[in-house]
């Protein structure tokens, strides 16, 4: 048996584990199972808590519901005073443009040259020493990382007892990693999305319906 990491960084070496009485081993294993079940229930309660907060704080400002359905404690819409100015930038207003990234940060640089003159259609030659730079910022494709944990079961050569390995402490029994759980919590809690909206968003982001068992209607 390899080193047993039981909980909270506590490790028991093979030699110490072999010296442990059978009833104590059984107690430790049951405690470990109890801790995992408690963590799973706590995660489910947290999701339900976030859903309740979403329903309580749902107003016409953060959802598609009508203002007439807002609760009494909701902040009322305030009419904006018209300034009499036209929409858009005002004369003398300093424009704001996005700053360009350094060339070293670019994945690639593509040069585009005009082929013919826009005035007389003559073929163009030469090189522009100061071309106009236009940058596109893109997010790389997101693909979920799937890690399979195989819990082997072995038979003791002395007493014939079958013993199956347990999941490491840092592995969530629910089957979802910390980043997936964190993203679901942010979408449902901070951004107050409904369960159905969170499920749809996660499916679009990861291209898989992996959260349908994590969030239930």
Q: Nearest-5° angle of CA 6, CA 8, CA 10?
A: 55
Q: What is the mean pLDDT of residues 19-27?
A: 76
Instruction: Give the pLDDT of residue 96.
Output: 61
What is the spatial distance between Cα 65 and Cα 107, in angstroms, rounded to a whole number? 43
pLDDT beyond 50 at 2 = no
- The residues near 53 (Cβ < 8 Å, ≥ 6 apart) are 189, 192
pLDDT digits (tens, 9 = 90+) for 167-217: 998 888 878 888 888 888 888 888 788 888 888 888 777 765 554 455 554
Least confident of 19-28, 72-81, 153-162: 72-81
Using the structure block, give the residue that is written with the tokens 């959802």.
63
Cα-Cα-Cα-Cα torsion 174, 176, 179, 180, nearest 10 degrees, comes to -100
Q: What are the tokens at 147?
A: 């890690």
Extract long-range pairs of 192-198: CB within 8 Å, 24+ residues apart.
192/53, 192/54, 192/57, 192/58, 192/62, 192/63, 193/54, 194/54, 195/51
Q: Nearest-5° angle of CA 8, CA 163, CA 165?
A: 40
Q: What is the mean pLDDT of residues 6-24?
A: 67
What is the spatial distance between Cα 109 and Cα 106, in angstroms, rounded to a whole number? 7
Please tell me the pTM assigned to this model.
0.39
What is the spatial distance between Cα 170 and Cα 57, in angstroms, rounded to a whole number? 33
Q: How many CB atoms lie within 10 A of CB 75?
A: 8
Asked if 172 and 181 touch (Cβ cutoff 8 Å), the reply is yes
């Amino acid at each position: 048996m390899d080193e047993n990491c039981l909980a909270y960084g506590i490790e028991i070496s093979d030699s110490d584990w072999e010296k442990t009485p059978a009833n104590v081993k059984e107690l430790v294993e049951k405690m470990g199972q109890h801790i995992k079940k408690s963590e799973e229930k706590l995660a489910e309660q947290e999701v339900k808590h976030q859903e309740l907060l979403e329903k309580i704080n749902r107003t016409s400002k953060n959802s598609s519901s009508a203002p007439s359905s807002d609760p009494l404690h909701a902040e009322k819409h305030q009419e904006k005073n018209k300034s009499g100015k036209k929409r858009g930038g005002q004369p003398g207003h300093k424009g704001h443009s996005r700053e360009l990234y350094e060339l070293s940060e670019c994945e690639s640089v593509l040069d585009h040259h005009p082929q013919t003159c826009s005035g007389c259609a003559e073929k163009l030659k030469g090189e522009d020493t100061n071309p106009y730079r236009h940058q596109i910022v893109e997010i790389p494709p997101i693909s979920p990382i799937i890690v399979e944990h195989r819990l082997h079961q072995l038979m003791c050569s002395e007493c014939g007892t079958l013993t199956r390995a347990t999941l490491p402490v840092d592995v969530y029994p629910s089957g979802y990693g910390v980043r997936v759980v964190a993203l679901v919590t942010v979408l449902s809690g901070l951004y107050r999305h409904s369960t159905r909206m969170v499920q749809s968003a996660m499916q679009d982001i990861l291209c898989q319906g992996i959260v349908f068992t994590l969030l239930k209607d």
